[in-house]
Amino acid sequence: MKIGFIGLGNMGMPMAINLAKAGHEVIGFDKVAAPEAPLRAASSAAEAATGADVVITMLPNGGILQSVAAEIIPAMKAGAVFCDCSTVDVESARAVATDANAAGLGALDAPVSGGITGAAGGTLTFMVGGGAEAFATVEPLFEIMGQKAVHCGESGAGQAAKICNNMILGVTMIATCEAFALADKLGLDRQKMFDVVSTSSGYSWSMNAYCPAPGIGPKSPADNGYKPGFAADLMLKDLRLAQQAAEGADADTPMGELAMQLYDRFVGSEDGAGQDFSAMLPRFEKRGRS
């Protein structure tokens, strides 16, 4: 296929390279980064989109997605598919899909989980909203960039799945970290805490697969000085998107809201910026109740 790829940052560049290595013709554009070989370079987003069967975007937020969409939709050929893999607000995803559909294009919102390791290794998970035909067109590309693609429903359903998942992740990571800090203060050995919780009803991905305590459980950013991994700043972004969506849908999400407030403080006025989101554990370690 001929693929336009717009947004070649930490995630987009390795995803685009995997598609090119698999034999597709990939024409990349980024406002800042120069496309790496074997990608071909375009001098604008519109040029990357012209004549492409599929255009993939991997951009920072919904505002930027909407401005790029306004530029590329008129340049795309009829019947092509616009597939956005960024994490953005549900409204932006739906607005872009509506405009793309009105122009005779297929449209998918297909945010990912798996981070930069998943992007480089081609092991991402895609959560996809949009029409069945568009999904069928892009599915072979999801198989190259990832290990799993779930078609979640109509436009916006991919973003909905992503923010609900990450709201659970933010909440469980905080709960896991505060429980470790409490266990420390109660004199409970961390390894024993892990041995019990990871096989009891308190288990979760945060405890079992991404344990925030250094030297405990499988290797995680805690074993690497809390270098991300999944940065606290990105977790904050996703928790904000979840609250924005909850407000729009009149959903009561008190734990998600508190998690957002804690990550907001952690990143904004404590030392969380640039750290992995599991660095909440050293944060709790240093604190008392007041």
Where does this chain bind ligand NAD (CB under 6 A)?
A: 6-12, 29-33, 45, 58-60, 64, 68, 86-87, 112, 115-116, 230, 234, 237
Which residue's CB is nearer to ligand NAD, number 115 or number 153?
A: 115
Which residue's CB is nearer to ligand NAD, number 45 or number 173?
A: 45
Which residue's CB is nearer to ligand NAD, number 119 or number 183?
A: 119
Measured at CB, which residue is nearest to ligand NAD? Answer: 9
Minimal distance in Å, beta carbon 71 to ligand NAD? 8
Distance, CA of 183 to CA of 181 (rounded, Å): 5
Minimal distance in Å, beta carbon 253 to ligand NAD? 20
Each residue of 109-133: b (16+ CB within 10 Å) or e? bbbbbbbeebbbebebbbbbbbbee
Number of CB atoms found within 10 A of residue 175's CB = 17
Could you tell me where the DSSP H helices lie in 22-89?
Answer: 45-49, 62-72
Which residue's CB is nearer to ligand NAD, number 68 or number 280?
A: 68
Distance, CA of 124 to CA of 18 (rounded, Å): 12
Minimal distance in Å, beta carbon 46 to ligand NAD? 11
Number of CB atoms found within 10 A of residue 28's CB = 26
Which residue's CB is nearer to ligand NAD, number 159 or number 176?
A: 159
The DSSP output letter for 251 is -
Residue 139 main-chain phi, psi, to 5 deg: -50, -45
Distance, CA of 249 to CA of 90 (rounded, Å): 11
Nearest to 16, CA basis, from 6, 123, 72, 44: 6
Rg (CA), the chain: 20
**Which residue is it, tokens 């505060």?**
178
Question: Amino acid letter at 210?
Answer: Y
3 state DSSP class of 262: helix
Minimal distance in Å, beta carbon 52 to ligand NAD? 15
The active-site residue out of 2, 148, 162, 286 is 162
Minimal distance in Å, beta carbon 122 to ligand NAD? 14
Which residue's CB is nearer to ligand NAD, number 190 or number 240?
A: 240
Minimal distance in Å, beta carbon 221 to ligand NAD? 12
- Whether 237 is catalytic is no
Catalytic residue numbers read 162
